[in-house]
């Protein structure tokens, strides 16, 4: 779902009026994974233990960064820091994009997203498991790419970009997002 997360950031540029730069919006959509990788490399609590063949085949135990409360906390802190740098609107957008990662993961993950950090209390885990139907998950992610590309084109035009410049920028964005989706699909097959 990397491409889908990034596509959402591209779409969000339409709402920013240059409040927050594209790189920050892209970072926001991946912030949960950034912290997950840091914890994983540090040998801390989070790990991946099962691999199933195909798209979305890695079963992740991201009990801190990808818990509902953990994602909300990272979104709040990230949004607060972004508000300090890019104002209230930029902070709300940044925090919303951080949390959007959890929402999109909820759609595709198997039931591996806990409510509380560290899976405290052993509450039920969530995930609708769209990755079990790989082709449908890829279609949903493809639709996010198309929507993100169209919104990105409109945002470039809205900021005064010439039509040709906006087309080149949107085509470049679409190409990069499509490569991200293709790498997900091919690497896990």
- Percentage of the chain with pLDDT > 70? 87
Q: Kindly state the average pLDDT of the residues 81-105.
A: 95
Q: Kindly state the average pLDDT of the residues 159-183.
A: 84
pLDDT for the residue numbered 187: 59
Q: Is the pLDDT of residue 101 over 50?
A: yes
Give the C-alpha separation, 153 to 16, whole Å.
Answer: 14
Q: Is the pLDDT of residue 129 over 60?
A: yes
Question: Residue 173: which pLDDT band, with cuts at 50, 70 and 90?
Answer: confident
pLDDT, tens only, 147-162: 988 888 888 888 777 8
| Top mean-pLDDT range of 18-32, 65-79, 110-124 | 65-79
Kindly provide the residue ranges of all beta strands, DSSP E only, lying in the chain, ordered along the sequence.
47-51, 58-61
- Exposure b/e, 87-118, CB count within 10 A at least 16 = b: eeebbbbbbbbbbbbbebbbbbbbebbbbebe
Q: How many residues does the chain have?
A: 189
Q: What domain range is 86 assigned to?
A: 2-187
Number of domains in the chain: 1
Residue whose entry in the numeric block shows the structure tokens 């409360």: 69
Q: Is the pLDDT of residue 189 over 50?
A: no
Give the C-alpha separation, 167 to 108, whole Å.
Answer: 31
Q: Kindly state the average pLDDT of the residues 36-58.
A: 67
Q: Kindly state the average pLDDT of the residues 158-171.
A: 82
Q: What is the mean pLDDT of the chain?
A: 85
Cα-based distances in Å from 49 to 58, 68, 89: 8, 21, 39
- Percentage of the chain with pLDDT > 90? 37
pLDDT for the residue numbered 138: 87
What is the maximal distance between C-alpha atoms in the chain?
55
């Amino acid at each position: 779902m990397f491409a889908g997360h990034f596509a959402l950031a591209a779409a969000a540029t339409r709402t920013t009026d240059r409040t927050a730069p594209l790189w920050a919006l892209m970072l926001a959509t991946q912030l949960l994974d950034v912290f997950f990788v840091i914890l994983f490399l540090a040998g801390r609590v989070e790990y991946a233990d099962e691999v199933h063949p195909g798209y979305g085949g890695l079963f992740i135990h991201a009990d801190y960064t990808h818990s509902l409360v953990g994602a909300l906390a990272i979104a709040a802190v990230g949004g607060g820091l972004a508000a300090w740098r890019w104002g209230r609107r930029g902070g709300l957008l940044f925090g919303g994009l951080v949390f959007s990662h959890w929402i999109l993961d909820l759609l595709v993950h198997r039931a591996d997203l806990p409510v509380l950090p560290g899976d405290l209390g052993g509450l039920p885990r969530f995930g609708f498991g769209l990755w079990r139907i790989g082709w449908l998950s890829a279609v949903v992610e493809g639709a996010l790419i198309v929507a993100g590309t169209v919104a990105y084109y409109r945002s470039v035009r809205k900021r005064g970009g010439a039509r040709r410049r906006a087309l080149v920028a949107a085509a470049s964005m679409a190409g990069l997002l499509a490569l991200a989706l293709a790498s997900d699909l091919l690497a896990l097959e």
